[in-house]
């Protein structure tokens, strides 16, 4: 019995021992495989690390090159593209405006419209202006810059240009700039420039009123040339330049005779004064002569603008213009002058009322003006901000021709003179961004 028990125990022990040995071998094999796999993974990780170090070195090198070239800011985290960096320095703005106008008292306009500069159509809905402006002002840190304005719309048509009236966008102004390290900085602008003269501008959101005044029609709008401007003090600045023409807004000119302009500006906390002028040859159409260099005339303009903000809610301005025309041997000579005053009173934070009064007298046959004419205009405008950037305006404008010589003048320049009064009501909405 005892021998049988010993035999059984021995057999069981043998089985367990064999199983244990077999199990140990398997475990050891698994350990070997795991070690092999870990070694392979370590090799792969090492290779990946080498690749990452190489890629990082390449990125750092590219970052350094771009930073040295001024295309990215070295203080920024990560790599920035040159395009992204460029657009971060460019201001983009614009305005869209539409209106309806109704002629309450009809002037004797042979074309059936209004005798209003830049608003010649009557009793119609229209798109006034669509503007897109790109501006990168030069600074001491980045001395190069540019400016470009694209426009279209019925009242965005530039004086003497004709672009944009048919709904086709056109270049209103565009120039390149350089801030020269002279004095406190002299900015040089070369290209198609907006005039520095006058109290009002072409962009409707820059004025108190829907319509530009009659005095605005005596002034240039844009011209091609070069200007230099600098600040003398914190309050006084000067600008001067050479352009192709006084009035014509021609993109190019083959005439060696140019026009010259300048302006001195004072801008205080509550008062401003701009005194400027332009002198030079202008094309024959300004003097109502036959085309040809021999029929060009010399035009001189003196422009004075006063601005004031007596209170936080009240802004006023006054504008005086004197125009002298010295025609060719077969052309007219004469003068014209105009004076305008305007102001806007803020009734609430979102509402204001504005008024403008003007008088023009001309003894010279300028573009859109007849001989020996007198014009008086009175304009009243109520504006209301409906939402951020959105403004609506209602305007009533009265024009009367004081002369009784049967000529008068039309401000839109198309048709014969008119001698009747006119009363026009306008409603406009514009959005600026």
Q: Which pLDDT score is estimated for 288?
A: 56
Residues of the chain with pLDDT under 70: 1-25, 27, 31, 45, 49, 63, 66-87, 107-112, 158-167, 248-255, 283-296, 328-332, 364-372, 403-420
Residue 358 bridge partners (DSSP):
340, 377
Whether residue 375 contacts residue 407, with contact meaning beta carbons closer than 8 Å, is answered with no
Q: How far apart are CA 391 and CA 431, in angstroms?
A: 6
pTM for the structure as a whole:
0.75
Q: How far apart are CA 426 and CA 266, in angstroms?
A: 34
From its phi and psi, is residue 112 left (phi > 0), alpha (psi between -120 and 50) or beta? left
Whether residue 340 contacts residue 361, with contact meaning beta carbons closer than 8 Å, is answered with no
Report CA 402 to chain centroid distance, whole Å: 38
The per-residue pLDDT for range 311-332, each reduced to its tens digit, is 999 999 999 999 988 875 555 6
Q: How many helices (H) and strands (E) does the chain have?
A: 2, 16
**Quick one: which H or E segment has residue 151?**
strand 144-152
E strands, 233-313, are: 236-243, 259-267, 271-282, 297-311
Q: What is the dihedral of CA 420, 423, 428, 432, to 10 degrees?
A: 60
Strand 91-105 relative to strand 124-136, pairing: antiparallel
């Amino acid at each position: 019995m005892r021998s049988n028990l010993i035999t059984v125990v021995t057999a069981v022990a043998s089985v367990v021992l064999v199983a244990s040995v077999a199990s140990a071998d398997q475990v050891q094999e698994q350990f070997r495989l795991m070690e092999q796999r870990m070694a392979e993974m370590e090799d792969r990780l090492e290779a990946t690390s080498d690749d990452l170090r190489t890629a990082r070195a390449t990125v750092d090198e590219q970052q350094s090159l771009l930073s040295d070239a001024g295309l990215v800011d070295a203080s920024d985290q990560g790599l920035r593209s040159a395009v992204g960096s460029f657009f971060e320095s460019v201001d983009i703005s614009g305005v869209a405006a539409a209106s309806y106008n109704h002629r309450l008292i009809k002037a004797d306009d042979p074309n059936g419209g209004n005798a209003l500069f830049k608003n010649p159509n009557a009793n119609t809905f229209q798109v006034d202006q669509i503007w897109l402006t790109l501006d990168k002002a030069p600074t001491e840190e980045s001395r190069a810059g540019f400016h470009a304005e694209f426009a279209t719309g019925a009242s965005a048509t530039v004086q003497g240009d004709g672009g944009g009236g048919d709904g086709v966008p056109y270049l209103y102004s565009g120039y390149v700039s350089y801030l020269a390290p002279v004095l406190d900085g002299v900015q040089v602008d070369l290209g198609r420039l907006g005039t520095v003269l006058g109290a009002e501008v072409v962009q409707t959101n820059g004025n108190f009123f829907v319509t530009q005044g009659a005095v605005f029609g005596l002034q240039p709008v844009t011209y091609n040339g070069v200007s230099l401007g600098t600040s003398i003090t914190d309050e006084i600045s000067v600008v001067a330049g050479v352009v192709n023409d006084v009035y014509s807004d021609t993109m190019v000119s083959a005439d060696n005779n140019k026009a010259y302009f300048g302006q001195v500006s004072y801008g205080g906390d509550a008062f401003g004064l701009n005194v400027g002028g332009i002198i030079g040859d202008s094309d024959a159409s300004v003097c109502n002569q036959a085309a040809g260099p021999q029929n060009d005339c010399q035009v001189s303009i003196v422009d004075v603008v006063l601005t004031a903000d007596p209170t936080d809610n009240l802004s006023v301005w006054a504008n005086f213009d004197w125009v002298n025309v010295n025609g060719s041997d077969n052309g007219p000579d004469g003068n014209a002058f105009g004076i305008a005053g305007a102001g806007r009173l803020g009734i609430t934070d979102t509402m204001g009322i504005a008024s403008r009064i003007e008088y023009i007298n001309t003894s010279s046959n300028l573009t859109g003006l007849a001989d020996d004419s007198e014009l008086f205009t009175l304009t009243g405008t109520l504006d209301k901000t409906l939402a951020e950037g959105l403004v609506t305006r209602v305007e009533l404008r009265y024009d009367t021709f004081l002369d009784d010589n049967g000529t008068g003048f039309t401000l839109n320049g198309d048709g014969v003179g008119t001698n009747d009064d006119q009363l026009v009501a306008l409603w406009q909405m514009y959005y600026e961004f």
